[in-house]
Amino acid sequence: MEIFLNTSTLINSISINTDILETNLINIAILVVVLIQFVGGAFTTALADRKQKILENVNDAEKRLSEAKERLSEANIQLAQTKVAIDKIVQELQLTKINLIKNGANQVYQEMLTVIKEAELNIARKEQNLLTILKQEIMTLAIHRVVAKLKKDLSVAQHLRIINKCITRLGGFVSE
């Protein structure tokens, strides 16, 4: 019976509070207590799991960041090596270009010397041919003049004497 009295006392002591603000605060407090009692363990476990996943993600991100930094460092080293190789190739190309120009100029110079020598030899041959032709022409002209003058100035008897002397000089026999 005592329980009944306590319950009735409890019921008599409970009254409806019409203050909305106070009632909402009490309701929220009760809700929080009930949630903590029933859902608290699961909520704490879920938060711990979430915290663990976040930590794993952060560690994974830090690991990927360090790997990315290493790859960037390696890429920078390769870039520097590539730049050195490119500079070396450019220098070699310039040297090759200069050598080709020099070789081309030397080749043109040698070809010009060859052409000049051939031209000089050609001119010398033509001069020699012209001198030979001139000598022949002069001798022919001289012989024609001498013959013409001899025909004009010498008599037949003088002609025969000159011819006989020439034959004698040549070692022939002359009958008179």
Per-residue pLDDT tens over the stretch 61-108: 999 999 999 999 999 999 999 999 999 999 999 999 898 888 888 888
What is the pTM (predicted TM-score) of this model?
A: 0.40
Question: Dihedral of CA 42/47/50/56: which sign?
Answer: negative
Helix ranges (H only) for 15-155 are 20-153
What are the two backbone dihedrals, phi and then psi, of residue 72, each rounded to the nearest 5 degrees? -65, -40
Distances, alpha carbon 170 to alpha carbons 81, 164, 175, 176, in Å: 98, 10, 15, 17
Q: What is the mean pLDDT of each run of 10 residues along the chain (176 residues)?
A: 55 64 82 79 83 93 94 94 94 91 87 92 93 92 84 79 84 62
Q: What distance separates the 2 farthest-apart alpha carbons in the chain?
A: 209
